[in-house]
Amino acid sequence: NAGVTQTPKFQVLKTGQSMTLQCAQDMNHEYMSWYRQDPGMGLRLIHYSVGAGITDQGEVPNGYNVSRSTTEDFPLRLLSAAPSQTSVYFCASSDRAVYGSYNSPLHFGNGTRLTVT
C-alpha cells in the first residue's frame, strides 16, 4: 500500500514558468488537499477536493489551479511561477472530509520542495 505519492521531490523553476505537482493516493480516500509550508508559519491550505469532480479554494489559492478527474489523483498546477511560491508543498488525503461533521486522520505525501528563481 503506497499511501500518498507526490512527485517530484524537488523542483527549480524560473519566474513565469508553469508546472504541475502530482499527487496520487491508493486508499480510495474522498478528501484530498494541497498545503504549503513556509518557515515560521503553519501549513496553509491551497485547494481541496471532497470527491471526483469537486474542488474548492482554501486559504491561499491565488496562482494555483487544481482538478480532480479521478478519486486517486489531485494535481496542483502553478500557472506562472513567482518567487513567492517558493515553498514546500504537501498533498494530504483522508477517507472523510475534515470539514463539516467528519473527522478522520490525514495521510500526507512526502512533500515537494519548490524553488522559484
Partner 1 sequence: KNEVEQSPQNLTAQEGEFITINCSYSVGISALHWLQQHPGGGIVSLFMLSSGKKKHGRLIATINIQEKHSSLHITASHPRDSAVYICAVRHEKLTFGTGTRLTIIP
Interface ranges with partner 1 (CB under 8 A): 40-45, 58-59, 88, 90, 92, 98-99, 103-108, 110-111, 113
Rounded to a whole number of angstroms, the minimum distance from the CB of residue 16 to partner 1 is 27
Minimal distance, residue 48 CB to partner 1, in Å: 9
On whether the CB atoms of residues 95 and 29 are closer than 8 A, the answer is: yes
Distance CA 76, CA 90 (A): 10
Report, in Å, the least distance between residue 107 CB and partner 1: 7
Facing residues of 82 across strands?
none
What is the C-alpha to C-alpha distance for residues 19 and 38, in angstroms, rounded to an integer? 19
Q: Select 14 or 100, whichever has its Cβ closest to partner 1.
A: 100
**Beta bridge pairs of residue 41:** none
Residue 10 or 28 having the CB closest to partner 1: 10
Task: Report DSSP state, residue 53.
Answer: T
Q: Which is nearer to partner 1, 28 or 103 (CB)?
A: 103
What's the CA gap between 83 and 72, in Å, rounded?
30
State the minimum distance, in angstroms, from the CB of residue 100 to partner 1.
Answer: 9
User: Given the complex with partner 1, which of 64 and 90 has the nearer CB atom?
Assistant: 90
Question: Tell me, what amino acid is at 112?
Answer: T
